[in-house]
Amino acid sequence: MEKNTATAVERLAIVIDPTLPVGLLANTVATIGAGLGAVIPALGGTMLTDAAGRSVHNSAALPAPILQATPEAIRAVLLKALPAPDGATVVAFPQFARAIHRFADYLALFPSRDLSAEIIDGIGLAGPERWVRSLTGSLKLLR
């Protein structure tokens, strides 16, 4: 089981296929972000209260750049990132997951799939700055 804190995580990045339709792109980014937040709870959850007494939770404790890459490049980054070093987290969104609407079905199917042969719509990386930069330094921001 991975164990992370926001202080151990120095950098985040989400890498996405920019050719996805906007709705699928947004869903992929949101799902990856939720996965990162679940593994690294210290990224969010801080209660903030404004001058009028209205309280909300923070969105993230670190910037989360959204980068773009082809599905092939995303898969290459994913395979290079694994196994993730201590203090690092990798969240993947393989394209086959879109057709599955129950998490129990996804859990049952996942072990029969090989990520090196799958189309990967997006990945999230969190961990040491040097590690994240080594994987994403040549990628452009999503525009």
Task: Report pLDDT digits (tens) over 91-114.
Answer: 999 999 999 999 999 999 999 999
User: Which residue type sits at 87?
Assistant: G
Note if the pTM is more than 0.85.
yes
- Asked whether residue 74 is assigned to any structural domain, the reply reads yes
How many domains does the chain divide into?
A: 1
- Asked whether residue 6 is assigned to any structural domain, the reply reads no
Cα–Cα distance between 2 and 10 in angstroms, integer?
16
- Asked whether residue 1 is assigned to any structural domain, the reply reads no
Name 56's Cβ contacts closer than 8 Å, sequence gap at least 6: 47, 48
- Asked whether residue 5 is assigned to any structural domain, the reply reads no
Relative orientation angle of helices 129-136 and 71-81, to the nearest 10 degrees: 150
Give the mean model confidence (pLDDT) for residues 70-76.
Answer: 97
Looking up residue 65, the CATH number of its domain turns out to be: 3.40.1490.10
- Asked whether residue 39 is assigned to any structural domain, the reply reads yes
**Which DSSP category does 34 fall into?**
H
